[in-house]
Amino acid sequence: MRGNVRVHQGKIRAKKRKKALILSLSAFSACAIMIALLAWLSHAGFMKVVDIEVVGTRRLSSDFVASSTRSLLEGRYLGMFSRGSVVLYPHDAIEEALLSMPVVKTVDVGSGGLHAITIAVEERVETARYCEGSAGDFSMCLALDEEGLAFAPSEDDSMVAYRNATTSLSLGDTVFSGPDDFKNMQFFLRELAGLDLAPREAVVGEAGYVTILLGGGGRLIVNTVDDLSGVLFNLSSILRDPSVVTGLDDFLSRLDYMRLDAGNKVFYKFRK
């Protein structure tokens, strides 16, 4: 009797294993069919990205952005799924590729319909420029954004030109170590313009020193470590003193330099 029971139980276990195997094979086949169907759909013409709409570009060419994006749509994921499918296109890779360009500040990639994707680009805005070479040489200049980052070539001679007395600047580099330093200097230069001093160039030196070349003549030497608001107050006090400045144009034409880096003291020297 016990032998018959063991044989019966063995048959039951065998049936269960067979059933489990059939179910596993069925599930595997269903998954394989589903994956094959999805792979086929990703290559289907009605799922393909046909149009790439680019908005917001000024310095960058829309055609360049579109062609760069199309190159990322080529190929397959895992050797099966098309990267050019409107539902599987490499969204993050497109954004990362565009953000790697210094001129691009932000980018938003999204679906533009059944056969299109849209790319909204926000480019950096030029607020100043950085130029190589000696004073007065504007042949090689880069545009600087509001944080002092160099992002593109510049030919805008209306912008104040920064130079660095010790190093060169490349695309993606910043003039100062932090954006606040650049913003403070930009504020200082705008205030100088408001005093009719017409700042044209700012030469960045060591230990925070900056030499500012004035359009009317002369140089101002400041230290960005100092409180630039206090420096402006001292400077405006000197310019308003009739015993020192009888006429601004005449004063600037004779000025060699003015040092504003000694607290409340101001030192200046005229040309010989």
Is residue 99 pLDDT above 90, yes or no? yes
Q: What's the whole-model pTM score?
A: 0.78
Query: In the structure, what pLDDT confidence band is assigned to residue 36 with cuts at 50, 70 and 90?
Result: low
How far apart (Å, rounded) are the C-alpha atoms in residues 15 and 151? 71
- pLDDT at position 88, please? 80
* Chain mean position to CA 159: 20
Higher pLDDT, 23 or 103: 103
* CB-based contact 102:149 (threshold 8 Å): yes
Element spanning 232, H or E: helix 228-240
In order of start, what are the domains of the chain with their CATH numbers?
45-123 (3.10.20.310), 128-270 (3.40.50.11690)
Query: In the structure, what pLDDT confidence band is assigned to residue 176 with cuts at 50, 70 and 90?
Result: confident
Query: In the structure, what pLDDT confidence band is assigned to residue 149 with cuts at 50, 70 and 90?
Result: very high
Query: In the structure, what pLDDT confidence band is assigned to residue 272 with cuts at 50, 70 and 90?
Result: confident
First and final C-alpha spacing in the chain = 127
pLDDT digits (tens, 9 = 90+) for 164-173: 988 889 999 9
* CB-based contact 152:103 (threshold 8 Å): yes
DSSP state of 201: E
How far apart (Å, rounded) are the C-alpha atoms in residues 216 and 123? 34
Please provide the DSSP assignment of 85-139 as one string: BTTTS-HHHHHHHHHTSTTEEEEEEEE-STTEEEEEEEE---SEEEE-SSTT--S
Is residue 242 pLDDT above 60, yes or no? yes
CB-based burial, 196-209: b 16+ in 10 Å, e otherwise = ebebbbbbbeeeee
